[in-house]
Amino acid sequence: MRNVVPTSVRRWKKGVAVMGEGQSPRAGIDRKAVAELGTEVLDWRHKAVPAALHGRTAAEFGSGSVRLSDLQTPLLTLDDAALRGNVAKLAAWCERHGVRLAPHGKTTMAPALWAAQLEAGAWGITLANAAQLRVARRFGVEVLMLANSLTDPQAIGWVAGQVAGGARIVSWVDSVAGVRRLQDVLDAADAGPLEVLVEIGGHGGRTGARGVDAALEVAQAVRAASRLRLGGVSGYEGALSHSWDEAGLAPVRAYLNDFRRLHERLAADGGYDTDEVILTAGGSAYFDDVVEILGPCAAPGVEVILRSGAYVIHDDGFYRGISPFSRQNPDAEDAFVSAMHGWARVVSRTEPGLAILEGGKRDLPVDEGLPVPQGIARELGAPLQPLAGARITAVNDQHAFLAYPAEVDVRPGDVVRLGLSHPCTALDKWTLMPVLDGTADPANPSVVGTVRTFF
């Protein structure tokens, strides 16, 4: 991944993002540990790597000498230019709007991508559970947000130990019972204090205290707990809607207005235990609404922090249609670009107009829409030809059903490139993915890096 932002990440090398001159010390990640991913020897455990390339390190594999045509299917690839562009676009947008970004790292679980996001100015990395936090700490991420409540005693004790050792880990709490649970476990371990944010939820949503009054009760309980410190307000609007029409935006905006009222009540009553208040919301679908409603709350001592995570990979499905940058025109110049594609061969063509591909649920995401055929070629690395009228009608564990017009010439062994929806359930199926650069040869791009995941 080269030239993500002009002052920081310059290129992909040895399977990781490598810093250029003038690197910023603000990025709290162990760049040496990330770079060491390039020394991993590739073998049968890496399903994206054909047997002919076993024995190479990730650095050698991603050095530019391997081409798309050298790989095997089924396959998921990442695009170098799209990754760079997506990271830079949201970083610049956040800077223009005076907000920070703590990207949700659970989307990729890829330290190399976290490094690129941190070097582009991210406040820290958001994660969803203690196991993911351990991955981040292994790679030296210093500032973390747990977008969840801590209830497991092992996790609470581990987080308290990490905080005592100098890490900053901010977690959430959404009930008085949850506050008591934290306090009791920390009392027993004689540990803490921990920094928590009171989470406000929306009716029909996921977690979070339901409504301003309930959230105020939680905040009061936190302030009364000797081993906790109230650092702000948190929440997630994305679970309230899956569309951006007027009906879809109404519950999102109503929720965000409740969020703002909660903060204003706490601020007016001196309800925070810190001089650096955090207000955090915002997935990858409605971050513009978050900034419109919560952005005016930003002030000295108050930071509005988005947590968008899917944007770095983006997609050709759900996020392409709902992202604030592409709702009106998915192909707009400033829109995010899908950085992931699936590749699968035809293994069977036993009925007219129906071909069976080798990639299925174990290889490709299907929870937010089926893959979309984007082109067909006789071999990997050959120019793609249009597949007008073709569609994926169903998927099994290891197969996909490709329906196509009878006049289209489809043969066993042909390769279909697939547009995918929902990066969160795409990357978790691959331990290592090649990063492609098609600058010199768009049909047969070079492998210029690798992304290693830890799901």
**pLDDT tens string 72-116:** 999 999 999 999 999 999 999 999 999 999 999 999 999 999 999
Mean pLDDT computed over every residue of the chain: 92
By the 10 Å C-beta count (0-12 exposed, 13-18 middle, 19+ buried), 251 is classed as middle
Query: Where residue 25 falls among pLDDT bands split at 50, 70, 90?
Result: very low
CA dist list (Å): 326 to 96, 197, 288, 353, 376: 18, 31, 12, 33, 26
Which CATH architecture group holds 142-308? Alpha-Beta Barrel (3.20)
E-strand stretches of 41-82: 75-79
% residues pLDDT > 70 (the chain): 94
What are the sequence ranges of the domains in the chain? 1-85+310-455, 142-308
- Three-class SS state of 303: strand
- The one-character DSSP state at 67 is B
pLDDT at 10: 31
Same-fold call for 1-85+310-455 versus 142-308: no
User: Which pLDDT tens digit goes with each residue over 176-194?
Assistant: 999 999 999 999 999 999 9
pLDDT at 271: 87
- The one-character DSSP state at 410 is -
Inform me whether the pLDDT recorded for 291 exceeds 60.
yes
Specify whether the backbone of 381 is left (phi greater than 0), alpha (psi in -120 to 50) or beta. left
**What is the fold, at CATH topology level, of the domain defined by 1-85+310-455?**
Lyase, Ornithine Decarboxylase; Chain A, domain 1 (2.40.37)
pLDDT at 26: 52
Inform me whether the pLDDT recorded for 4 exceeds 50.
no
Query: Where residue 247 falls among pLDDT bands split at 50, 70, 90?
Result: confident
User: Which pLDDT tens digit goes with each residue over 307-333?
Assistant: 999 999 999 999 999 999 988 899 999
Inform me whether the pLDDT recorded for 12 exceeds 80.
no
Inform me whether the pLDDT recorded for 2 exceeds 50.
no
Amino acid at 382: A
Nearest 5°: phi and psi at 184?
-65, -45
